[in-house]
């Protein structure tokens, strides 16, 4: 018997460990407004949207290639990555001298859930 997952386009091979446990947090109530605002604000910049799309496109988690793809200074990209990381939308794991960034499915799901709850 093959798993149903075989028919999905491969779990995209995320950097970190299992990030697909169910999210039991509420989608409404105290604190959730601030949570959604933080998530949305993180997406609320064209450069950060581009970064997210870039990470979504390449299943291989890239690092400073982002700097080559986006016409911004390296320090600026680093700041944007920091914002995305703090919001839980992105994850960075050091790999030798460089850092491999990747999407964090849990954060994206959370954002979609809260947006959907509007």
Partner DNA sequence: ACTGGTCATCGTAATTTAACGATACCATGT
Partner DNA sequence: ACATGGTATCGTTAAATTACGATGACCAGT
Partner residues linked to 94 by β-bridges? 99
21 vs 34, beta carbon nearer DNA:
34
The Cα angle at residue 63 between residues 86 and 21, in degrees rounded to 5:
50
Name residues contacting its own copies, limited to 40-99 (CB under 8 A).
40-46, 48-50, 52-53, 56
How many residues are listed for the chain in this entry? 118
Least Å distance, CB 94 to its own copies, is 25
Least Å distance, CB 21 to DNA, is 25
16 vs 117, beta carbon nearer its own copies:
117
**Chain Cα centroid distance, residue 48:** 10
């Amino acid at each position: 018997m093959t798993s149903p997952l075989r028919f999905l386009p491969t779990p995209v091979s995320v950097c970190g460990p299992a990030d697909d446990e169910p999210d039991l947090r509420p989608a409404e109530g105290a604190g959730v407004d601030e949570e959604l605002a933080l998530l949305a604000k993180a997406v609320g910049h064209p450069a950060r949207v581009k970064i997210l799309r870039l990470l979504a496109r390449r299943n291989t988690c890239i690092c400073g290639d982002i700097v080559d793809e986006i016409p911004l200074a390296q320090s600026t990209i680093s700041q944007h990555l920091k914002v995305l990381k703090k919001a839980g939308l992105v994850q960075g794991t050091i790999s030798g001298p460089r850092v491999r960034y990747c999407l964090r499915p849990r954060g994206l799901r959370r954002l979609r859930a809260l947006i959907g709850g509007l």
